[in-house]
Structures are given as structure tokens and as C-alpha cells.
Structure 1
């Protein structure tokens, strides 16, 4: 399955804003996590992103790229805003399609999986005449992952663990819609690449931002180590040790010489 993944906005177009957040940053973070989960955990999943950094891409550039690549599915990631008074999750397919279309069937499956995990009010499955939905030649979905200017939704968006859950929800839906098979792991063992541990969350966020600038997806999570709270930067998790070693080498080449691998679930 060839997935064209489109983090909304970027560069000079920040998208919606609120609670100290910019839509372009949230959408890119979620999209990179979706790519990481899909390519690490599933067979025959190829992912292409409209952008992997904070750059501007026109709507036509996005759909033209997806169409020429021959994607099987177009997934656009967004956040909403409405004067701080609205909240919740909704998604859209092209308004020119019927409710019995393949695109609508995929929407129903993915919507159900995202709602299971995102802790947001369900605003329903909708349709619209958005460019990326209309001009893409493959089935397409645009997801609005909460209202960035609402207190509840915005506070969730600030959490890296929440963004990871949202990414996982999208992947769960894609896996069901396209009957993707999980890769065979090694007895449940997971190899995680740790690209830094910090007492300061700001320092951890800076490290994650640096890695993103190098094209390496990562996220920050809180961990209790020897009774103290630390913020760790994780730059990948793999069921295969060789794949983990390759990612570790890439992280070290980017300048993070003290990165290392942790092993969880060893028999």
C-alpha cells in the first residue's frame, strides 16, 4: 500500500493557532509518527510525505505529487479552530462522492479507530469540497484532530504521548482498511533508540526539534529513572535489532554521539 501523507500547512502558512501552538507543527509531528509506526510495524507499507520539515507547499504541489507517484491513498492531517468555543474530532471526504463509495468505506473504518484513542468529542464523518480531496486521483481523507484554540483540545495537543496515540489511531484504521499485515517481531522484543535524557523538558524538546530538522522522527516522553523524573527523546522503536542499529547509526551521524538502544520485552 502506497500512502501519501500530507501534514497540513507549513513554512509561511502556519495554519490555525491557539494555546501557544501552531497547526503546522502539530500536523507534522503526527504525520512523522504515522510514517514511523507504519514503516516499522507493517509489511508492504510505503509512505511518502508532502513535507518532512517546516516548509511551504501549495495545495496543487501536494496533489500533483501524490497523483504522479501513484499513491493508493491520500491522508491529510489537520487541526481545527473556532474562536475557542468548539472542540472535538471530525474528518472529511470529497463532497462529490456517495456514502457507498470506497472512499466513504475507508473513512468509516479510520474514523472509528481514531475516535477510540484520541480522547476527543466525536463530531462525525463529513464531506467537503477541499482541494486535496477533490484533486487527488486516489481515495482521500482529511482529518481534523481537535480544536487548537480550545482549552481541552489544545492541552492534549501539547502532549507527545497524545500525539503518539493519535498517530497510532490513524495507523490502526489504515491497517484495517487496507488489510495490512504486521511484521513478525522477535518474541515481543522492542528495541528503542534513546537520543537523549534531560531534566528539562525544554531541552528535550530542542533535541527532538533538531532531530526532525535532520529528517529523523522523534518524540519526548517522561520517564522515572532512579526515582527522578527525566524527559527522554525516543528516535524510533523496532522489532528487529538490525533496523534499530541502522537508526542508531543515523542518529549518531546527525551528531548525537551519546544515543543508545534500550531493549524491552526480552524473553
Structure 2
């Protein structure tokens, strides 16, 4: 089972970059939660741990120590840029070669994120950032637009656009670890000559429904691409959580702003006993 560590940058008394009425800490948390929910709802074969799920301060050392102690397979740190530029870029550690496993993971992540967003592509970069240097597993740091540039900030104020950013991250992670679709969801692998129109007709959907379900911004598809043709997106259907070691129903209920009784009812639980790796519907 792939162990994914999601790290929304900054938090608590550290707002990160600030501009155009936005604080980086809020945007990164929103994106990370969407990534988690999308992966847990639409894929299996993984577990997710987050450096924070609320607006709390977590030091850089706490983040990497937590991921290392958990034995994560991939560290994904989500950030928003600043400095007057525009666009998307991502980073791996500066000591790594372009043929390294981490670089190959990054290539997939970069490709999937750029499929979903219309940010300027600022390229694949390297740096000696703490979370890239001190993590014991492959790690990527993504910079999703510039908070102090009006055009980028306006996109970051849109929940629908944050869905697109999150979908790119989630699809990249799914490709990195070849995650299978979750049970109960139907997918279709695009064949040569297929179009969104022909696929939508085959599954009794509209083209727009198909695009919305997969976070597509245009009609471009490619052979081998896996499309969701039935299932849940970001704003519809159930939300799932993969139980981590040491978690309780009370803690999970607090995290998703629900109640223990509601979770028990959704999952047919007669008591509060849960097991690591168990998939719970939380909403």
C-alpha cells in the first residue's frame, strides 16, 4: 500500500505568502484537503497522512520527522508562490539527477498538474529546501501560482480552480503509484480514435458531465488515458477516509466536522472499533 504524505505549507501563526486578500496557508490547506478527499474517494491501494488538517503551526522539522517516522513513500508539499511572477513550477532536491526515481515521479506529477491548470508553465526545478532535503523518501514541492499577481490570485480565489489544481496532484500521485480505482467507480481507458463525444454517447452522458467528472478544461484526450465515467468528483457523492494507526472515530469525526454517530451510521458500525487501513465513509 502506497503511503502518501500531504504537506500543506505554512499554517497557524505562519501565513506564508500574502497578497490580493489571500494567505498562502489557507489556500494550501484547501488544496491538500481536496487532494486527500479525491484520492480516498476515487482510488484504493494507498493511505494518506497530512502534516496538518487545520490552521495550525507545524515546524519544518516536525513535518519531515513525522513523514519519516510514518515511513511515507512520497512527500508532497503544496505551496503558493510570491514575488511578482506568474505560473506553476515544482521542485525536487538539488542533489538529485534527472534520471532519479524522484525526478521520474516529478515528471508524472508535473504532466498531470499542467493538464488541469492554465497557469504559465515555469518548468521543473531543483532546490535545497528543508522538506526536500530532510525527507527520507521521494519528495516534491509544488508552487501553484503567485499570490501577489492579480491574475493568478483570482484563479486561487475560485473553488472550482482549486479543484483543478487538486485533481492534477491527485492524478499525478495515482500515476506514480499506479493506484487502482476504488470499488464502485467505473472507468474507461481511452482508445485511439476516441473523442469525448463518442465516449459520452457510449456511457449515456453529456460531454460536459464527462469533463466535469474528470476535471477537464478542454476536449483533449489521449490513448491510454483513464477517464472516470461513473463515480464521484469533488463536490458530489460520498467522502471517504483511510484509517491510520492510532486514529479513533472521535478524531476522524473532528477532522471532517461530523459526529461519531454519523460515521457509525454511514458505515453500519455497531461500536467504535476501527482498524488501520479501513476505508470509512465520513460524509
- The answer to whether TM tops 0.5 is yes
* Conservation of the 8 A alpha-carbon contact between 2:42 and 2:185: no
The structure-2 alpha-carbon separation of the partners of 1:99 and 1:215, relative to structure 1 and needing over 3 Å to count, comes to same
How far the C-alpha of 1:121 sits from its partner, in A, is 0.3
2:255 aligned counterpart, secondary structure: coil
- C-alpha separation in 1, matches of 2:265 and 2:173: 24
2:232 paired with 1:192: no
Q: Distance in 1 between matches of 2:131 and 2:54?
A: 19
Name the structure 1 match of 2:113. 114
> Structure 1 residues 243 and 163, CA, compared in 2 at 3 Å: closer, same or farther?
farther
Alpha-carbon shift at residue 189 of structure 1 (Å): 5.1
1:193 and 1:244 in contact (8 A); partners too: no
Give yes or no for contact 2:109–2:169 (8 Å, CA) kept in 1: yes
More strand by share: 1
Question: Relative to 1, partners in 2 of residues 1:158 and 1:214: Cα closer, same or farther, differing over 3 Å?
Answer: farther
> What is the CA-CA distance between 1:243 and the residue it aligns to?
10
What's 2:255 paired with? Answer: 215
Runs of 4+ in 1 over 6 A off after TM superposition: none
Output the aligned Cα RMSD.
2.5
State how far apart, in whole Å, the 2-side matches of 1:115 and 1:164 are: 13
Report how far residue 245 of structure 1 moved: 3.5
Indicate the residue corresponding to 2:3 in structure 1.
2
**Equivalent residue pairs, number:** 206
**Residue number in structure 2 paired with 1:47:** 48
Aligned to 2:150: 151
1:192 deviation in Å?
A: 2.4
Which deviations, in whole Å up to 9, do the C-alpha atoms of 1:83-124 show, x marking residues without a partner? xx3100000000011111000000011001101111100000
Residue number in structure 1 paired with 2:249: none
Bigger Cα displacement from structure 2, 179-188 vs 89-98: 179-188
Structure 1 residue 65, shift from structure 2 partner: 0.3
Secondary structure of 1:113's counterpart equals helix
Q: CA deviation at 1:177?
A: 1.1
CA distance in 1, matches of 2:151, 2:264: 38
1:193 CA drift (Å) = 5.8
Instruction: Find out whether 1:131 has 2:130 as its counterpart.
Output: yes
Q: Any unmatched runs of 5+ in structure 2? A: 187-229, 240-252, 268-282
Partner of 2:37: helix, strand, or coil?
A: helix
CA contact 1:3–1:72 (8 Å) conserved in 2: yes
Q: 1:148 to 1:102 in 2, by over 3 A?
A: same
Runs of at least 5 residues in structure 1 that lack an aligned partner in the other structure: 195-212, 218-234, 236-241, 247-260, 262-267
Deviations 1:57-76 (A, max 9, x none): 00000000000000000000
* Residue correspondence of structure 1 range 1-267 to structure 2 within 5 A: 1-82=2-83, 85-185=84-184, 188=230, 190=232, 192=237, 214-216=254-256, 245-246=266-267
- Deviation, 1:216, is 2.0
Give CA deviations for 1:139-177 in whole Å, capped at 9, x if unaligned: 000000000110111000000011011100001111111
Shift of 1:214: 4.1
